[in-house]
Chains A and B, each alone.
Chain A
Amino acid sequence: MKRTDFLANASRQIAATHLPDARAQRPLSPALPPFVPADLAAPFSAEATALKCEVHSADSPAATIEHIDRLFEAHQAAEFLSWDEAALPVPGLLRHLAGRGLSRRHSAVSNHPQARRDTQAGLSEVKIGLTGALAGLADTGSLVLQSHHGQGRLASLMPPVHIALLRAGALFPSMAHFVQAHPNALRNASNLVLVSGPSRTADIEQTLTLGVHGPKEVHIVLLRYA
């Protein structure tokens, strides 16, 4: 059907309708109270933990790297899928991991169908995905991730373990606060995802199981100093 016909028909039907509570203006968002990001570390951690994320608090770059080293050791991971160094809030982290003999895999997939399949199949067994985060939402314990150059979607989706590096300065009380601070967050990236805990299902007799398609474990390293 042609766009003009489709929309003209919709216009005709709207003219003939009565929609209860429809107002001419869309409801405006209420004014939001001010906040201090540092105060949000505790509530954010509590919410994320309730969602079965593990939150690791770091007071210095060295502490951050220690957390990451421990997580790699615990999972005996030899390789990982990661965002580019520039997209991670810990300078020198990828060099550090390379120095420990860990190999970074890239998620750059080709436009060629077969090459694309091969690349993605080759990444499917990688244990750990390492990303930054644009923001954290304290009231829901959510991470906000955007896809960009050097920061792909697969790193937070494909591996069974996702490690996200989150600056405490990027915490917001709620999604509404985030929207107000980043009004163009949707236009600016082809993908923006709110991640609220590990992948889960309760489809079978409403028994909660983790890691259906996405990560079974989500580790958030909260950079209290950044």
Chain B
Amino acid sequence: MPPTDAPFRQRVKTALADTQLRQALKTGTGNLVTKRAAAVAAFPAFETTRTRARHIRAHTLSRLDRYLAEFADNVEATGGRVFWAKDAAEAIGYITDLARDKNVRRIVKSKSMVTEEIELNPALTQAGLEVVESDLGEFIIQLTEEHPSHIVAPVMHKTRQDVGRVFQQKLNVPYTDDPFALNDIARAHLRHIFLTADMGISGVNFGVAESGSICLVTNEGNGRFTTTAPRLHVAVMGMEKVVPTFDDLSVTLQVLGRSATGQKLSVYSNIITGPRRPDEPDGPDELHVIVLDNGRSAALASEQAEILYCIRCGACLNHCPVYQKIGGHAYGSVYPGPMGSVLTPVLFGLEGHNDLPHASSLCGACRDVCPVKIDLPHLLLTLRHADAQAGGAPASLSAGVRLYRSIANNPGLYRFSLKAGGRLTRLLARNGWLATLPPPLSGWTAHRHFPAMAKKSFHQQWQERNQERIP
């Protein structure tokens, strides 16, 4: 996990005060929202396709043990190796041992959130290995020693000038802030890395059970180069990422690209089935697939199991009014936004992450755009509930709810309190609004005004209305 030293509220304040960040987020999420909307509008079958995608994910997870067994049998039948990793430590151990056995010095990576999750890069560096990210965005934040702020667009928070200065300092090239020139600098630098790396490490967008294939989706081609040029390919796959068949893959790919970037398909949908075969001219000599649990099997049995349907398109981030304002870093977790606010506490526990389920207005935009229709607001509520059960709710809130309960249980007291309270708010209000309430209610008015209550309560109006009607 990235450093989460500052408390959540402090990180949010810092993010909100950063005008450059706010501008970058406005443009970044705005563009992706517009592009997705256009792609969905141009695809009449979107709704039926995403319903099918949801059913595919739900069905697969309900038989995940069987599909994983089928997947692994087929990986092995095509000459690949499968390693089952309970947690981050086992996955890292396997990769470092393999690197040592095979005399690996340099490793190139294609963009992968699961390797962020297990903090693979620092572990490899510590083991004396050189590891270079090859997705342009990931490469930039590796140079600046940051973490991705978005699961699809990792440097959404950076300007072209930022990137120009980073390249100037770290790659020793003349300053430019022209994206095309920056692109060429990165191409030349990373081409050399691809050609000299001994091992390529990728994530997996989808595993296909019937053939033992893994599918990697990229636009730049880093997913192809990482899995073609080096002699060893290691793929790290979250255990939930399987789909049964090629046909099912064609459905999930249809909704992934449109939801992520508004593309009908990303540029490269790269499907790998084993290492290169003896008569093939190129491709890796070995393929190792690491199937990673790291909290996922426990998540399957949790109330939030539906989050495992997620195909990591990032649409819920782009459409979230909270993410749009604070960006990915403020969440303090590898996976930000609505999906991250569910997945992070589900995988790693609520402790230390109990602010995340509250980082939402529950407006439901995330659910509306989700390509597999995950009910994210509901999942966030179940986590808030769990947080309150565990004593995570602020004392003032619990006390307030207790007070309300005792009043609401007594109709006479309830009517009296309503009358008295209403009169008080009208007395203290200016232009119909109260700027501050006294403790313990002051927390509520810290961020918004409280309206003066109406002269007649609903209860009264209802009674009067019925009296008029019934002679």
Task: Give A contacts to B, CB under 8 Å.
Answer: 1-3, 5-14, 16-27, 29, 47, 51, 106-109, 111, 113, 116-117, 120-121, 124, 139-142, 147-154, 157, 175-176, 178-180, 183, 185-187, 189-207, 209, 211-214
Check A147 against B198 for contact (C-beta < 8 Å): no
Q: How far is the CB of B347 from chain A (nearest CB, A)?
A: 14
Q: 7 additional contacts, CB 8 Å, given A10-B300, A202-B153? A: A3-B84, A20-B58, A21-B58, A139-B264, A147-B282, A193-B269, A198-B267
Minimal beta-carbon separation of A24 from chain B (angstroms): 8
CA distance A14 to B306 in the complex (A): 12
Rounded to whole Å, the gap between the CB of B12 and the closest CB of chain A is: 24
User: B256 on the interface (CB 8 Å rule)?
Assistant: no
Give A201 to B222 CA distance when docked, in angstroms.
11
Docked CA distance A152–B280 (Å): 7
A148 to B283, CA, bound (A): 10
Contacting pair B264 A140 (CB below 8 A): yes
Q: Mark B261-285, 1 if CB is under 8 A from A, else 0.
A: 1011111111111111101111101
Complex Cα distance A31/B231, Å? 42
Complex-state Cα separation, A200 to B190, whole angstroms: 15
Q: Are A14 and B62 in contact (CB-based, < 8 A)?
A: yes
Query: Of the candidates B86, B155, B182, B283, which one forms a contact with A190 in the assembled complex, judged by CB atoms under 8 Å apart?
Result: B283
Determine whether the beta carbon of A213 is less than 8 Å from that of B134: yes
Check A213 against B191 for contact (C-beta < 8 Å): yes
Give the residues in chain A near B54, CB-CB below 8 Å: 21
| Shortest Cβ distance from B103 into A: residue | A113
Given contacts A120-B229, A124-B191, A190-B274, contact A1 B269 (CB under 8 A): no
Q: Is there an interface contact between A153 and B283, defined as CB atoms closer than 8 Å?
A: yes
Known contacts A152-B280, A196-B264, A205-B159; decide if A26 and B59 are in contact (CB<8 Å). yes
Q: A23-B55, A152-B280, A206-B31 are in contact. Are A189 and B273 (CB under 8 A)?
A: yes
Partner of A179, one of B62, B222, B250, B268: B250
| B-side contacts of A157, CB under 8 Å | 221, 224-225, 228
Also in contact, A190 and B78, with CB within 8 A (given A26-B244, A157-B225, A175-B250) = yes
Which stretch (B2-10, B63-71, B432-440) binds chain A?
Answer: B63-71
A24 CA / B244 CA spacing, docked (Å): 13
Q: How far is the CB of A94 from chain B (nearest CB, A)?
A: 15
Interface residue ranges of B168-220 to A (CB < 8 Å): 179-180, 182-183, 186-187, 190-191, 194-196, 198, 208, 210-211, 213, 219-220
Q: Is B136 an interface residue (CB 8 A)?
A: yes
Determine if B244 and A207 form an interchain contact, defined as CB atoms under 8 angstroms apart. no
Smallest CB-CB separation from A125: which chain B residue?
B191
Which residues on B sit within 8 Å (CB–CB) of A201? 136-137, 183, 219-220
- Cα distance A21–B163 when bound, in Å? 45
In-complex Cβ contact of A213 among B179, B220, B244 (8 A): B220
Do the beta carbons of A14 and B300 come within 8 Å of each other? yes
Cβ-defined contact, B280 with A116, below 8 A:
no
30 contacts between A and B (CB under 8 A): A2-B84, A6-B84, A6-B86, A8-B65, A12-B301, A14-B301, A16-B301, A18-B305, A23-B55, A24-B59, A26-B55, A26-B245, A26-B248, A117-B196, A120-B195, A154-B281, A191-B228, A191-B270, A191-B283, A196-B265, A196-B266, A199-B268, A200-B267, A202-B261, A203-B153, A204-B182, A204-B183, A205-B160, A206-B153, A212-B187
Report Cα–Cα, A189/B211, bound state, in Å. Answer: 10
User: 4 smallest A-B Cβ distances: which pairs?
Assistant: A214-B221, A22-B62, A203-B137, A212-B220
A116 to B86, CA, bound (A): 34
Contact yes or no, B305 A185, CB < 8 A: no
- Inter-chain contact B283/A147, CB cutoff 8 Å: yes
Q: Select from chain A the residue with minimum beta-carbon distance to B211.
A: A186
Do B64 and A213 touch across chains, with their CB atoms under 8 A apart? no
In angstroms, Cα B196 to Cα A206, docked, is: 30
